[in-house]
Amino acid sequence: MIATTRLLGPSDRFGRPLRNLRISVTDRCNLRCRYCMPEAEYQWLPRSSILSFEEIDRLAGIFSGLGVTKVRLTGGEPLLRHDLPTLVRLLSARDALSDLALTTNGVLLARQAEALRVAGLTRVTISLDTLRPERMREFARSSRHADVIAGIDAARAAGFPSVKLNTVVIRGFNDDEILELLDFAFGRDLEPRFIEYMDVGGATGWSMAQVVSQREIVETVARRYGAVKPVQQSQWAPAERFALPDGRTFGVIASTTAPFCRTCDRGRITADGTFLLCLYGEQGLDLRELVRGGATDAEIAERIAAVWQARDDRGAEARLGLAERGVLHRIESLRADPRREMHTRGG
Ligand code: SF4
């Protein structure tokens, strides 16, 4: 029996604890962003394989017993999952989970923000890559820009203590909007975060030339606002935060040029119940088989702890070390195993 305690939990080979869990509730999405789902057609996970809310809640309980305190619901687009507030209500009843967050593209948020807040969701992160509707039409094949803005405003109105705005910055697409997006976020009391374009599964058009680095992003902001200083924060946070001279802050997630794998305490569960140890990981533990096959909570916890203790994944750092860096997966390889897609593994 592997020794685990509620407070300690398992650590991996680099001493990283399991504290954060990203749970994908669907592989479907209503946008087709070029950095994630650029293809015309996708192979979806069979509906019968998607975990039910009760199965997700049971797994969340097992993970919290292993030390997980933070859960983030992702997709695909999680708000496409029918009645998501019911899942939020189940999870928020678990005292051991101190943080229950959602990452969404915002298209369907206006209608659901209040219900999600009432159900116990604590934080929302909304993706907004451009302030220009015509760019979104071209880049994400969607004319729902106004709905995203309405979703952002609904999240503020619902009273979430933290609403973050995530922008993937891509050279030649939206790198000329960094300052506008920053002002937009500050004007609505949101925390802006810029994310480097990553060469993950799904990003079949990725190239290093399109990556706008953290250094460039910070320099762009500093040219407008003056010297920008790093903010001290938890070593486990993925975003580096920076403060403007007036104290306002923004974050940069430098997964491509300055990865933070050595402090990565995140596991992820795909919508069909595969436990993955890394965004770039190939192998996973089939939790659905265990849950539906009659395994007890203790047996499942033991299997999870065992794979976490064997974990030595440092996917983004390994990518950084490559002499020639191209796309991670070509379309044929993604079609051979849809779990390689970022929209399936809850990027
Ligand atoms: S690449 Fe893998 S190990 Fe590195 S930060 Fe991302 S999920 Fe964690």
**pLDDT tens digit string along 21-32?**
999 999 999 988
pLDDT band at 37 (very low <50, low <70, confident <90, very high): confident
Give the mean pLDDT of 305-322. 90
pLDDT band at residue 33 under the 50/70/90 scheme: confident
**Is any ligand 1 atom within 6 A of the Cβ of residue 9?**
no
201 lines ligand 1 (CB under 6 A): no
Nearest protein CA to atom 7 of ligand 1, as residue: 278
Structure tokens at 293: 């096959």
Q: What pLDDT is attached to residue 201? A: 66
Residue of 279, 308, 319, 342 best suited for mutating to test ligand 1, as the one with most atoms within 8 Å of CB: 279
Residues paired with 126 in a beta bridge:
104, 165
pLDDT per position as a tens digit, 85-139:
999 999 999 999 999 999 999 999 999 999 999 999 999 999 999 999 999 999 8
Q: CB within 8 A of 321, min separation 6: which ones?
A: none
Q: Look at residue 213 in the predicted model and tell me its pLDDT.
A: 96
pLDDT in tens, 43-99: 888 999 999 999 999 999 999 999 999 999 999 999 999 999 999 999 999 999 999
The Cα–Cα gap between 191 and 329 comes to 32
| Cα-to-centroid distance, 121 and ligand 1 (Å) | 25
pLDDT digits (tens, 9 = 90+) for 251-290: 999 989 999 999 999 999 999 999 999 988 888 999 999 9
Residue nearest to atom 6 of ligand 1 (CA): 279
CB-based contacts of 187, cutoff 8 Å, min separation 6: none
Among protein residues, the one with the nearest Cα to ligand 1's atom 5 is: 261
78: Cβ contacts below 8 Å, ≥ 6 apart: 24, 25, 26, 84, 102, 103, 104
> Beta-strand (E) ranges in 115-181?
123-127, 162-169
29 within 8 A of 37, measured Cβ to Cβ: yes
Residue closest by Cα to atom 2 of ligand 1: 278
Question: What is the model's pLDDT at position 39?
Answer: 73
Q: Which atom of ligand 1 is nearest to the CA of 315?
A: 1
Nearest to 260 by CA among 231, 282, 240, 280: 240
Contact 271, 33 (CB under 8 A): no
Q: Is 3's pLDDT higher than 50?
A: no
Is 251 close to ligand 1, i.e. is its CB under 6 Å away? no
334 pLDDT higher than 70? no
DSSP letter, residue 209: G
C-alpha gyration radius of the chain: 19
Ligand 1 pocket member 196 (CB < 6 A):
no
Ligand 1 mutation pick, 11, 264, 276, 319, max ligand atoms within 8 A of CB: 264
Q: Which atom of ligand 1 is nearest to the CA of 314?
A: 3
Pairing of strands 249-253, 266-269: unpaired
What distance in angstroms lies between residue 159's CA and the mean position of ligand 1's atoms? 31
345 confidence band (pLDDT: 50, 70, 90) = low
194-233 pLDDT, tens digit per residue, is 999 988 766 677 888 999 999 999 999 999 999 999 998 7
Does 117 sit in the ligand 1 pocket, CB within 6 Å? no
Residue 221 Cα to ligand 1 midpoint, Å, equals 27
The confidence score (pLDDT) of residue 327 equals 72
**In this model, does residue 5 exceed pLDDT 60?**
no
Indicate if ligand 1 lies below 6 Å from the C-beta of 267. Answer: no
Q: Find the mean pLDDT for residues 157-168.
A: 95
| β-strands 162-169, 123-127 pairing | parallel
126 lines ligand 1 (CB under 6 A): no
Among the listed residues 232, 203, 198, 228, the one whose alpha carbon sits nearest the alpha carbon of residue 216: 228
Q: Is 280 in the pocket of ligand 1 (CB under 6 A)?
A: yes
Among candidate residues 81, 72, 130, the one with its CA nearest the CA of residue 103? 72
Rounded CA separation 242/229 (Å): 5
Look up residue 254 and give its two tokens.
């430098």
Residue 4 has pLDDT above 50, yes or no: no
CA distances from 77 to 33, 69, 116, 307 (A): 12, 23, 15, 28
